Amino acid sequence: MLIQCTKKLLDELNIKPASHPDEEPLFSWHANLVRVNRRKTVVLVNDRNRYVIVLYGLKAKDFKKLDEHIIQAIRETFQNECIKDEIIEQFINHSKEVTYTKTKDRTSVARMNKSCELVYGYEDLMLEGYINQSAVNIRVSRLIVGDGSKKYVRPSEELYKDLEAFADKPIFACKAVELKVTLDLEKYNVWRRIVVPVNITFNKLHKVLQAAFGWKDYHLHEFYIYDNEKFDNELSINHSGYHKEGYKPIINLVYDEEALGYENDVPMKLETGIKLSEYIPARIKYNYDFGDNWQHYIEVERVIDDYDKNYPVCLEGEGNTPPEDVGGEHGYEEFLEIIADEKHPEHEEMVAWGESQGYNDFDIEMVNRAMKFEYRM
């Protein structure tokens, strides 16, 4: 594997660059040393497809074994992309020895610098205490970039094509779960059956659920995780962690640090970086919009050991999602009554308002397009 370094990175490594050997672009990377959140960070950009790998918070001892960190970061990130382990190892073993040399040409350096700029935009997502930043790698690599000839590509999509050509077979396989997600409404059946990779993070699962139900992500959200134990003394029905079947919440995953300042009878933790696999097969509740109070009950129906995609899929569903800011279930009932009555004085206004809020009939094709887009962004 060829790592073509800027002078700044070579100085940090304190090594003499090797002569520029020939290497296939798929196994060649340009690398720069930058500071993100005042921490030393190495950004690697693949010469073939412009996929990005970020090594964050490096210390002197880490630069002494940078080649090990690079290999491990590629392995972990590709695993989180749901690429088969055998193909990952085939990729790494193809050129396991890491060689450091100088940068090659202006075009490659310009592309690397552009990638560094994109990485700065995700500095808030950097996880402290982790060198490899898989979530950032995947997010940055899914952004559209230009190649200077009016052609635009997503590095992640280019990587998938390159690996498929390299391995000469399908590259995706991962453990996944089939979930039934039911919006808790007394008078209406609204549910979706979806398949998601188990390595999905809860902040990404939030995005997938938004797409599955057609929500607009206007409001705050949270998750509650439950074990199989039921409460002797149930939480109040008005408590956000209340489960209608009486299960005991073991943790409340929240979106931002401000939420940690509020009192709760249940231990709280930031959802960032936490994966679904850490709690499966526990029951889950997803609360969205604490005003309208939309509660979604999530049950694991099936574990899939060899899922052949790296994005979620909606298998089936039923029912329309209420419009945003409709006023909870009572407001939704009133909304439906008005739009069903053409003689109602507010009929036209309410129909127009519903359209402006994106109120639509459930369309599984649209849901799947939205879920794939949100997951891969």
Between the alpha carbon of residue 303 and those of residues 78, 258, 281, 372, the distances in Å are 21, 35, 9, 20
Q: What integer pLDDT is reported at residue 323 of this predicted model?
A: 97
Residue 164, by phi and psi: left (phi above 0), alpha (psi -120 to 50) or beta?
Answer: alpha
pLDDT category, 229, cuts 50, 70, 90?
A: confident
Q: What integer pLDDT is reported at residue 151 of this predicted model?
A: 87
Quote the percentage of the chain above a pLDDT of 70: 99
Structure tokens at 347: 């009929």
Break the chain into its structural domains and give their ranges: 2-167, 174-321+362-375
Express each pLDDT in 206-219 by its tens digit.
999 999 999 999 99
Q: What integer pLDDT is reported at residue 261 of this predicted model?
A: 87
pLDDT category, 232, cuts 50, 70, 90?
A: low
Q: What integer pLDDT is reported at residue 37 of this predicted model?
A: 96
Mean pLDDT of the chain: 94
pTM of the model: 0.88
Residues contacting 48, CB < 8 A, separation 6+? 24, 25, 26, 28, 158, 162
Arithmetic mean of pLDDT, 189-203: 96
Express each pLDDT in 86-124 by its tens digit.
999 999 999 778 999 999 889 999 999 999 999 999 999
CATH for the stretch 174-321+362-375: 3.10.290.30
Sequential DSSP letters for 78-100:
HHHTTB-HHHHHHHHHHT-S-EE
Q: How far is CA 92 from the centre of its chain?
A: 24
Question: What are the respective helix, strand and coil percentages of the chain, to the nearest 5?
Answer: 35, 30, 35
**What's the alpha-carbon Rg for the chain, to the nearest Å?**
24
CATH for the stretch 2-167: 3.30.420
Angstrom distance (rounded) from CA 180 to CA 24:
45
Structure tokens at 330: 């009572």
Q: What integer pLDDT is reported at residue 104 of this predicted model?
A: 87
Express each pLDDT in 287-319 by its tens digit.
999 999 999 999 999 999 999 999 999 999 999
